Structure 1
Amino acid sequence: MGERAIDAATAAFVAHRDLLFTIAYEMLGSAADAEDVLQETWLRWVEVDVRRVDDPRAYLVRITTRQSLNRLRALKRRREAYVGQWLPEPLLTSPDVAEDVELAESVSMALLVVLETLSPTERAVFVLREVFGAPYEEIAEAVGKSPAAVRQIAHRARRHVDARRPRRAASLGEAREASESFWRAIETRDLQGLFDVLAPDVVWVGDGGGLRQAALHPIVGAGKVVRLIAGILDRADGVVTAHLALLNGGPALVVRVGGELDGVVALRVENGRITGIYYVRNPEKLTRVDRQTPLTLR
């Protein structure tokens, strides 16, 4: 490829990089794997004669989707052997992401957890159609299916996700208020305050990846979750502190014990109460909580 062609390829890739990363991340739930997919996308993109590409964005999305699908199929097998519960890698995001309701919901921990229950192809179709609004014909080319098959897959995936996603996404203000109340109750050891902010059927999911202690199975019910939190505080090897940060487009708690980063707590909030608590402690997943990751749907 000549120097001018490389310049054109580079310009197109850079222009759409944030979009490609967002697609890969929503398909994989891992920033590290999304970055690997982007590297693979670039290597294939520079082999293309860009002068013959009518729509560089669509072409790049197609490459990224195919590479993400390949990686997701391999990851599905690895995640079956994962120690304990697997949660997505949390990302520090900008206020702009939080204010974009559609984008914030699409990268929220709650939705990404639901997407983990889809097959790789269902996840790719759902992300491209429901999140990015891609035409069925374009999705068909990306996943190697007919447009008719993609329509059926999209319908099945949407029905599956709708049955499991939050019934009404909390506003940014509601989520922040619930997060602040949750931490205030923990900080003051106000157990009744915890019960007040937790839904009766709240679910706690912890991810230590075998590297840090975490519940191996989900904990269900406000009483059990409150006892779990009390036990964690009693066993902590230092003072437990936390601050609110915008992670995955919503308020979350960055927790430190004795001044050292311990984990990230993302909350699922519905009707003003917390219905899901996701505690990521695996240190390999905490590399993106101190620097913002740009995300976009466009």
Structure 2
Amino acid sequence: MDDEKILARRFEADRGHLKRVAYRMLGSATEAEDAVQEAWLRLSRSDTSAVGNLSGWLTTVVARVCLDMLRTRKSRREEPLEQPATEAFDDKDDPEHALEMADSLGVALLVVLETLPPPERVAFVLHDMFDLPFEEIAPIVGRSTDAARQLASRARRRVKGGSDNFEPSRERHREVVTAYLRASRSGDLAALLAVLDPEVVLRADASAVPVGMALVARGAEVVARRALAGFMAEAQLALVGGEPAIVVLRAGAPFRVLRFTVADERVTGIEVLADADRLAGLEVTALN
């Protein structure tokens, strides 16, 4: 048997495990399969002769692929959350395992995991669900060992609290968005940083930024400085789809919309929309 066939056989032995890792991170069977396939492509192009633990190496590769997918995902997901784990993993040869997956990875857990920032989600899944040590998780999420441990701890508190406790109330969500708007309008960098999570991620569509500017910004200071250089003087509080948001109006119509994800009384995510077709599909109600 040649080396490629041996490698393929070893990969197939780990495929089920890799798919479970990817699914718990991504919440989508289609994306999980894509991540596993990407891991195979990377394996087939790599020299693994010096790799002592191929299963661990593959788990690390899949985790990095999933982290990249979470960070660049353009939509919340390709598949509905209601898809049960037994459908995502049609394990005809092992029905007991399929039932175990359904019990351990229900819709409620996926809902809570979906709210976590990508680094927290990856750290929590790898450590709490697959027992990967923080020394190995740290380079995957680009943090120190202690910081990776903190990411998992923060995620654990949110998961234990459940989706109901994790999601802020409408009133508190509005207070946080209002504080962001107030700080941005006044040019108060310190106040803006206080309302942003250190790991906040801003994602903008191509119509919302000048040509050549990155569509994704990460980190409180980077996001804050972009906010201070933007259109905030013309912005106002609004409800978008019933959720507190910020809108810039031109001729009475939305010209730019900022939607917010809030957790632990801080902004963890901002979506900036300016594409005319996307704005036309939003229900926007300006607030005083």
* TM-score of the pair, normalised by structure 2: 0.50
Is the 1:122–1:154 contact (alpha carbons within 8 Å) kept by the matching residues of 2?
Answer: yes
1:145 to 140, 143, 146: 143
Question: d(CA) in 1 for partners of 2:47 and 2:41?
Answer: 13
Summarize the alignment of residues 35-46 of structure 1 with structure 2, pairs less than 5 Å apart: 35-46=33-44
Q: How big is the shift at 1:88?
A: 5.5
Q: How big is the shift at 1:133?
A: 1.1
What is residue 67 of structure 2 aligned with on the other side? 69
Q: Percent identity?
A: 41
**For this pair of structures, how many residues does the alignment match?**
162
Question: d(CA) in 1 for partners of 2:120 and 2:43?
Answer: 25
Is the 1:9–1:50 contact (alpha carbons within 8 Å) kept by the matching residues of 2?
Answer: no
Summarize the alignment of residues 85-234 of structure 1 with structure 2, pairs less than 5 Å apart: 87=81, 89-91=83-85, 92=87, 95-97=95-97, 100=100, 103-164=101-162
Distance of aligned partners of 1:135 and 1:104 in 2 relative to their CA distance in 1, 3 Å threshold:
farther
Is the 2:122–2:141 contact (alpha carbons within 8 Å) kept by the matching residues of 1?
Answer: yes
What is residue 75 of structure 2 aligned with on the other side? 78
Is the 1:114–1:164 contact (alpha carbons within 8 Å) kept by the matching residues of 2?
Answer: yes
Question: Secondary structure, in 3 states, of the residue corresponding to 1:161?
Answer: helix
Question: d(CA) in 2 for partners of 1:134 and 1:141?
Answer: 12
Is the 1:20–1:38 contact (alpha carbons within 8 Å) kept by the matching residues of 2?
Answer: yes
Question: d(CA) in 1 for partners of 2:27 and 2:130?
Answer: 16
Is the 2:138–2:148 contact (alpha carbons within 8 Å) kept by the matching residues of 1?
Answer: yes
Deviations 1:163-218 (A, max 9, x none): 11699xxxxxxxxxxxxxxxxxxxxxxxxxxxxxxxxxxxxxxxxxxxxxxxx99x
Q: How big is the shift at 1:18?
A: 0.3
| Two-structure CA RMSD over aligned residues (Å) | 2.9
Unmatched runs of 5 consecutive residues or more in structure 1: 168-215, 218-298
Q: How big is the shift at 1:87?
A: 2.2
Distance of aligned partners of 1:8 and 1:144 in 2 relative to their CA distance in 1, 3 Å threshold:
farther
What is residue 182 of structure 2 aligned with on the other side? none
Question: Secondary structure, in 3 states, of the residue corresponding to 1:79?
Answer: coil
Q: How big is the shift at 1:43?
A: 0.7
What is residue 170 of structure 2 aligned with on the other side? none
Distance of aligned partners of 1:129 and 1:150 in 2 relative to their CA distance in 1, 3 Å threshold:
same
**What residue identity is the alignment partner of 1:51?**
S
Distance of aligned partners of 1:143 and 1:4 in 2 relative to their CA distance in 1, 3 Å threshold:
farther
What is residue 5 of structure 2 aligned with on the other side? 7
**What residue identity is the alignment partner of 2:76?**
R
Q: How big is the shift at 1:29?
A: 0.7
Is the 2:123–2:148 contact (alpha carbons within 8 Å) kept by the matching residues of 1?
Answer: yes
Using CA pairs under 8 Å that are at least 6 residues apart, name the structure with larger relative contact order, 1 or 2.
1
Is the 1:29–1:112 contact (alpha carbons within 8 Å) kept by the matching residues of 2?
Answer: yes
Question: d(CA) in 2 for partners of 1:141 and 1:6?
Answer: 28
What is residue 282 of structure 1 aligned with on the other side? none
Distance of aligned partners of 1:34 and 1:150 in 2 relative to their CA distance in 1, 3 Å threshold:
same
Q: How big is the shift at 1:146?
A: 1.6
* TM-score of the pair, normalised by structure 1: 0.49
| Runs of 4+ with deviation above 4 angstroms | none
